[in-house]
Amino acid sequence: MSNTQASIEESVSPSLADSGNSNAAGASSQSNTTRVAAKRKTITPRSEVWSHFTKFVNSEGQSKGKCNYCDREFCCDGKKNGTGSLKYHMKQCKKSPTNVLGNNQCQLILPNKGLEGEVGQITTWKFDQEATRNALAQMIVIGEMSFKFVESEGFRKFMPVACPRFRIPSRLTVTRDIYQLYLDERAKLKQYLKSSCSRVCLTTDTWTSLQRVNYMCLTVHFIDNDWKLNKKIINFCPISSHKGDAIGMMIENCLLSWGIDKIFTVTVDNASSNDVAISYLRKKCSPRGFCIANGKYIHMRCMTHIVNLIVVEGLKEMNKSVARVRGLWNSTYLMLDTAQNFERAFERFEEQDTKFKAELELGEGWPTTNDWSSVRNLRDFLEHFYEVTLRVSGTSYVTSNNFFDELTEIDILLQDAQSNVDIDFSVMAMKMKDKYDKYWGDIDKMNMLIFVACVLDPRHKLNYLEFALSEMYNSGKSSEWGKTVFVNDPQQKVKKRMKDLFKRRVIENGGEDQTSELDKYLGEATENHDDGFDILLWWKVNSPRFPALSKMAKDVLAIPLSTVASESAFSTGGRVLDQFRSSLTPKMVQALVCTQDYIRNPSTEEEIKKIEEQIQELDKIDNDSSWNALDPTLNS
């Protein structure tokens, strides 16, 4: 009996020992788990339903949510159930303050008179947390505000008074809302491009931020099915360098990501890297059928940039009179225009501060009465170029049909200036005319689509084109090679190439050769020259008469004459990515710049005002440049 008991004790003892070790190990494991759990930070639920429910775990270990108003319980396990049932109950709960009688009804409101297009319109309003958060995100994007604005003391005092039921989100939540807004608007635009246009015109340029990050802006221009001109920034993204191959490759990638497979033109400035980029696009896009005529007409040079080069060339011959006024104030057109109004003020300043005059005498000297007269003459001369720059820089109206008007005006202006009695002024005009002839003196070196745009203006057609060409290239003041160009009959060149483009457009639409449609348009009388003439409205009304030609007009009239559309985005980028927000990632910078462009609806007057402000800012920044005040595009 004792032997049996001893054997039993021997057999039990190891198990008890193992049990003790197991308990010790379990205790140790539990202790480690407790320490890990203590280190882990508690995550606050982000869903809005937890403002109305209390989360708990029942006796069976299930995650539950209890309604704060009716005490009903719902399963809310993150992996099995989610919060769908809680959201549904929140809308149906009769005891919820948002659903009691009266609170769930819409209110009638009369919008403020300051809201454009809503004066006198009675609308309904109902509180919506998500809609309010979306509107808050739009306000921050349009106003270019900091994300931490929502956490400011002033905003947190304002919202409980304006809308007590709105739960103010954190800046992290606002950041997510803004990026989601960007994705939503981008998706809408992508669908709109597929359904509302066949070909797009592009403008692009590069910029270096204060972070020393290279950015490329790519903008699309198109006329939609309702004959409205559209301009949208589709990419504001970092780029490896400003080299042509890198620019061309990035444009190609952007077009592929957006699903854009037909481009008409790409407007760029005269930088050599852009020539390389255009060559790259021709090589890549032509085999895919992305562009017409194997990319022959894809390259469009920025008109404002060429005007810039013309004036810079002339101002190199700036006489002493202008130099003396610049000594008072660094003056180009806008500054000359301002400075000449303060001639008497500077005379008074001369009397009160003799040191200022003495300092100027060490340089070009103090301006005389004749100097001020010369400055006014130059001011009047530069004003024409300044106004041309503003007109061709617009993005809310068609500009390609007016290219020849602006070109003719510059040509006549330079020809008249060359015969000026002032020798210095005449020499300056000759220098400018030489630079003009380099880019626009030979019709064969110009993009023929510009002349097609002129013909597609029902006020011009071929008659005006013939007259303008004869004045520019066959007058006694023009050069011999200009006469040679005209002898070759540029009007017939334009007409022939226009017919070729028209035939391609008809074939793309699956139709037969309808050259008679083009002949019918050219054979009709031209419209009257009226300042209020709306060319897009004319084509919208007459598109049933010219179905194929009107589609061609959509492509050609959408061509932008300048890269201002892309370069103006750099002003926005400079404000968004300032010294106080330099930690923003390129991904977020693109979201802010693009979303602002998608949701903002600036009028033509506002755009012109912004361009003028940019011109003044640029002129202040670069005191050594003589042209920045005339050129609203050179801000990169």
Cβ(389)–Cβ(630) under 8 Å?
Answer: yes
Average pLDDT of the chain? 76
Cβ(611)–Cβ(564) under 8 Å?
Answer: yes
Q: What is the mean pLDDT of the segment spanning 76-94? A: 83
Q: Which domain holds residue 130?
A: 107-176
285 and 264 in a single domain? The answer is: yes
Please say which residue of 123, 145, 176 terminates a domain.
Answer: 176
Q: What is the mean pLDDT of the segment spanning 225-236? A: 92
Place of tokens 């990632």: 585
Q: Which of 106-115, 152-161, 372-381, 469-478 shows the highest mean pLDDT?
A: 152-161
Least confident residue range of 83-97, 137-151, 328-342, 449-463: 328-342
pLDDT of 211 reads: 77
pLDDT of 412 reads: 86
Phi, psi of 574 (to 5 degrees): -65, -30
257 and 154 in a single domain? The answer is: no
Look at residue 349 and tell me if it is in a domain: no
Using pLDDT thresholds of 50, 70 and 90, give the confidence band for residue 125: confident
Using pLDDT thresholds of 50, 70 and 90, give the confidence band for residue 229: very high
State pLDDT tens for residues 510-562. 555 555 788 888 888 888 888 789 999 999 999 999 988 898 899 999 999 98
544 and 566 in a single domain? The answer is: no
Phi, psi of 266 (to 5 degrees): -130, 115
What Cα–Cα distance (Å) separates residue 152 from each residue in 138, 149, 169, 170, 211? 18, 5, 12, 10, 26
Please give the share of the chain, as a percent, with pLDDT higher than 70. Answer: 66
pLDDT of 181 reads: 95
Q: Has residue 599 got a pLDDT over 80?
A: yes
Look at residue 527 and tell me if it is in a domain: yes
The number of folded domains in the chain is 4
Q: Has residue 124 got a pLDDT over 60?
A: yes
Q: What is the C-alpha to C-alpha distance for residues 47 and 152, in angstroms, rounded to an integer?
A: 23
State pLDDT tens for residues 564-580. 878 777 777 767 766 66
Structure tokens at 315: 């101002």
Using pLDDT thresholds of 50, 70 and 90, give the confidence band for residue 77: confident
User: Closest by alpha carbon to 571, among 601, 602, 613, 605?
Assistant: 613
452 and 547 in a single domain? The answer is: yes
263 and 298 in a single domain? The answer is: yes
Look at residue 385 and tell me if it is in a domain: no
Q: What is the mean pLDDT of the segment spanning 91-102? A: 70
Q: What is the mean pLDDT of the segment spanning 196-213? A: 86
pLDDT of 40 reads: 58
Which residue would you say has higher pLDDT here, 162 or 486?
Answer: 162
208 and 298 in a single domain? The answer is: yes
Which residue would you say has higher pLDDT here, 334 or 622?
Answer: 334
Q: Has residue 8 got a pLDDT over 70?
A: no
> Longest C-alpha distance within the chain, in Å?
141
183 and 299 in a single domain? The answer is: yes
193 and 222 in a single domain? The answer is: yes
Look at residue 499 and tell me if it is in a domain: yes
Structure tokens at 558: 């959408």
Q: What is the mean pLDDT of the segment spanning 65-91? A: 86
Q: Has residue 508 got a pLDDT over 80?
A: no
189 and 276 in a single domain? The answer is: yes
pLDDT of 1 reads: 43
Look at residue 323 and tell me if it is in a domain: no
Q: Has residue 330 got a pLDDT over 50?
A: no
pLDDT of 10 reads: 43
pLDDT of 361 reads: 53
132 and 205 in a single domain? The answer is: no
pLDDT of 534 reads: 92
267 and 172 in a single domain? The answer is: no
Q: Has residue 223 got a pLDDT over 80?
A: yes
Instruction: Return the sign of the alpha-carbon dihedral for residues 118, 119, 125, 128.
Output: positive
Least confident residue range of 305-314, 451-460, 577-586: 577-586
Q: What is the C-alpha to C-alpha distance for residues 39 and 61, in angstroms, rounded to an integer?
A: 23
Q: What is the C-alpha to C-alpha distance for residues 503 and 518, in angstroms, rounded to an integer?
A: 10
Structure tokens at 476: 């006694």
Which residue would you say has higher pLDDT here, 501 or 102?
Answer: 501
Look at residue 605 and tell me if it is in a domain: yes
State pLDDT tens for residues 472-500. 775 443 333 333 333 345 556 655 656 66
pLDDT of 136 reads: 95
Residue partners of 265: CB distance under 8 A and separation at least 6? 201, 202, 297, 298, 299, 300, 447, 449, 559
pTM, two decimals, is 0.70
Q: Has residue 286 got a pLDDT over 80?
A: no
Please say which residue of 150, 176, 202 terminates a domain.
Answer: 176
Please give the share of the chain, as a percent, with pLDDT higher than 90. Answer: 24
Look at residue 588 and tell me if it is in a domain: yes
pLDDT of 314 reads: 81
Q: What is the mean pLDDT of the segment spanning 37-46? A: 60
Look at residue 337 and tell me if it is in a domain: no
170 and 185 in a single domain? The answer is: no
Q: What is the mean pLDDT of the segment spanning 286-312? A: 83
State pLDDT tens for residues 47-57. 778 888 898 98
Cβ(563)–Cβ(632) under 8 Å?
Answer: no
Q: What is the mean pLDDT of the segment spanning 296-321? A: 81
Structure tokens at 616: 């003044």
Please say which residue of 515, 541, 561 terminates a domain.
Answer: 561
pLDDT of 103 reads: 53
Cβ(51)–Cβ(68) under 8 Å?
Answer: no
